[in-house]
């Protein structure tokens, strides 16, 4: 399909509707009941013409490569049950539900948008999001008999809540039943692949009338299994070891959270700890070093033990929110150092001091 101008997602959605011609009209799609597929649409520019490459749009031009790729669109979804096409955007016709972050989520694609605001001709009646604050004494559980705050090894209500969330996220990512099932699935897939390679060798011997070498078959099978690393041994821990690992990394997450709030130039007061915790864990896989000093320490254990980011939906973690959280954390720390508010050495020393105060 050749077009002079670059087509918009709405134009592509209309073209797909005309090609598929869904016979069902009175149907409301929902990701909880329908089988929704996210269509990847590539727009290529070749010889001054724009060409569309998609699953349901045939393109006879074989010269389309990565060099001719102009744009990729990920906002078009297909309901496999009915064949209906949905172009998801902020004002799309998909239903809306409100998630835990008080944001609107499309009922077809699951994409999160900003909170809804009611517009009115009266300024006083305009609805704006509000934050409910707990005005009780934040250190009410950390005072001695004289009313003085015990600073060593204590934390307030908010920090206690963050500790509970961090422990729950760590347990879900490392030692949950879902994680074990995921590793078992990976091992079964590796085993199937190794058996295919062995069968390929056996067919080769049969065609060429050669004897089958049993030692060579074992070598092929073991080599294929070992080719893709398995980290099952890192998550098969005793209850005591699991508790120790969770407490150690919870202490680090709370330390970096305090550093992020108190020492960086973060201007976002609505940045959720539920987004910060997994984002910080994935930053710790490689660490954050500036001027030869680790501000966020690198963890060799998390580098291998954390699940792949593409499968985070299995653990109720949104991958786009994780990526956005990582970018926000790195941006705030980078601006803090570049604007000479604090040096990397000062940030690192602050993290070490706060780590010693915490008692999980």
| Range with lowest mean pLDDT among 265-269, 297-301, 348-352 | 265-269
- What per-residue confidence (pLDDT) applies to 52? 84
The average confidence (pLDDT) of the chain is 83
| Range with lowest mean pLDDT among 138-142, 214-218, 271-275 | 138-142
- What per-residue confidence (pLDDT) applies to 297? 92
Write the pLDDT tens digit of every residue in 67-119.
Answer: 888 888 888 888 888 888 888 888 888 888 877 766 788 888 888 776 544 44
Is the CB of residue 321 less than 8 Å from the CB of residue 315? no
**What's the pLDDT band for 279 if we cut at 50, 70, 90?**
very high
* Residue with more model confidence, 153 or 354: 354
- The three state secondary structure string of 96-128 is EEECCCCCEEECCCCCEECCCCCCCCCHHHCCC
**What's the pLDDT band for 296 if we cut at 50, 70, 90?**
very high
CA distance 162 to 5: 51
CA distance 332 to 295: 12
**What's the pLDDT band for 347 if we cut at 50, 70, 90?**
very high
| Range with lowest mean pLDDT among 13-22, 117-126, 175-184, 256-265 | 117-126
The strand pairing partners of 97, in sequence order, are 105
Average pLDDT over residues 64-69: 82
The strand pairing partners of 78, in sequence order, are 37, 85
**Is residue 221 within a helix (H) or strand (E), and if so which, with residue range?**
helix 214-227
Q: Minimal CA–CA distance to 245: which of 183, 311, 175?
A: 175
The strand pairing partners of 359, in sequence order, are none
Average pLDDT over residues 139-156: 66
CA distance 170 to 89: 33
**Does position 163 have pLDDT exceeding 70, yes or no?**
yes
- What per-residue confidence (pLDDT) applies to 126? 45
Structure tokens at 320: 């786009």
CA dihedral (247, 253, 258, 259) positive or negative: positive
Is the CB of residue 7 less than 8 Å from the CB of residue 43? yes
Is residue 144 helix, strand or coil?
coil
Q: H helices then E strands: how many in the chain?
A: 10, 10
Q: What is the DSSP annotation of 258-276?
A: HHHHHTS----TT--HHHH
| Range with lowest mean pLDDT among 2-16, 20-34, 43-57, 144-158 | 144-158
**What's the pLDDT band for 151 if we cut at 50, 70, 90?**
low
CA distance 37 to 108: 10
Is residue 195 helix, strand or coil?
helix
**Does position 227 have pLDDT exceeding 80, yes or no?**
yes
The strand pairing partners of 322, in sequence order, are none
- What per-residue confidence (pLDDT) applies to 267? 61
Structure tokens at 169: 């996220």
**Does position 146 have pLDDT exceeding 70, yes or no?**
yes
**Does position 219 have pLDDT exceeding 50, yes or no?**
yes
Average pLDDT over residues 31-57: 84
CA distance 244 to 187: 27
**Does position 124 have pLDDT exceeding 60, yes or no?**
no
- What per-residue confidence (pLDDT) applies to 244? 93
**What's the pLDDT band for 294 if we cut at 50, 70, 90?**
very high
**Is residue 257 within a helix (H) or strand (E), and if so which, with residue range?**
helix 239-262
- What per-residue confidence (pLDDT) applies to 28? 82
CA distance 210 to 212: 6
CA distance 299 to 281: 9
- What per-residue confidence (pLDDT) applies to 117? 47
pTM of the model: 0.56
- What per-residue confidence (pLDDT) applies to 281? 95
- What per-residue confidence (pLDDT) applies to 123? 41
User: Reduced to 3 DSSP states, what percent helix, strand and coil does the chain have, rounded to the nearest 5?
Assistant: 45, 15, 40
| Range with lowest mean pLDDT among 9-18, 137-146, 156-165 | 137-146
Average pLDDT over residues 57-61: 72
Structure tokens at 236: 């098969």
CA dihedral (254, 255, 256, 259) positive or negative: positive
């Amino acid at each position: 399909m050749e077009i002079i101008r670059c087509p918009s997602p709405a134009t592509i959605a209309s073209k797909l509707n005309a090609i598929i011609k869904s016979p069902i009209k009175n149907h409301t799609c929902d990701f909880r009941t329908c089988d929704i597929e996210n269509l990847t649409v590539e727009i290529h520019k070749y010889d001054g013409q724009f060409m569309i490459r998609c699953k349901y749009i045939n393109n006879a031009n074989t010269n389309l490569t990565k060099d001719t790729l102009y744009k990729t669109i990920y906002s078009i979804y297909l309901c496999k049950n009915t064949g209906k096409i949905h172009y998801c955007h902020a004002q799309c016709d998909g239903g809306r539900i409100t998630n835990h972050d008080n944001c609107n989520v499309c009922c077809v694609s699951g994409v999160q948008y900003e909170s809804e605001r009611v517009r009115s001709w009266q300024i006083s009646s305009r609805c704006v999001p509000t934050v409910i604050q707990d005005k009780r004494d934040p250190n009410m559980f950390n005072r001695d008999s004289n009313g003085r705050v015990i600073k060593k090894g204590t934390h307030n209500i908010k920090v206690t809540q963050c500790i509970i969330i961090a422990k729950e996220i760590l347990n879900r990512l490392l030692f949950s039943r879902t994680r074990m099932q995921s590793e078992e699935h990976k091992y079964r897939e590796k085993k199937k692949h190794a058996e295919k390679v062995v069968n390929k060798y056996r067919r080769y011997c049969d065609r060429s009338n050669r004897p089958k070498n049993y030692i060579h078959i074992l070598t092929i099978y073991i080599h294929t299994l070992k080719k893709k690393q398995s980290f099952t041994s890192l998550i098969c821990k005793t209850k005591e070891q699991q508790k120790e690992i969770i407490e150690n990394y919870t202490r680090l997450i709370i330390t970096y959270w305090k550093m992020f709030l108190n020492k960086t130039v973060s201007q976002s007061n609505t940045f959720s700890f539920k987004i910060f915790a997994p984002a910080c864990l994935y930053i710790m896989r490689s660490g954050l070093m500036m001027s030869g000093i680790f501000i966020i320490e690198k963890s060799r254990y998390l580098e291998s033990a954390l699940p792949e980011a593409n499968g985070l939906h299995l653990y109720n973690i949104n991958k786009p929110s994780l990526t956005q959280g990582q970018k926000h954390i790195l941006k705030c720390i980078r601006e803090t150092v570049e604007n000479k508010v604090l040096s990397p050495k000062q940030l690192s020393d602050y993290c070490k001091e706060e780590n010693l105060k915490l008692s999980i």
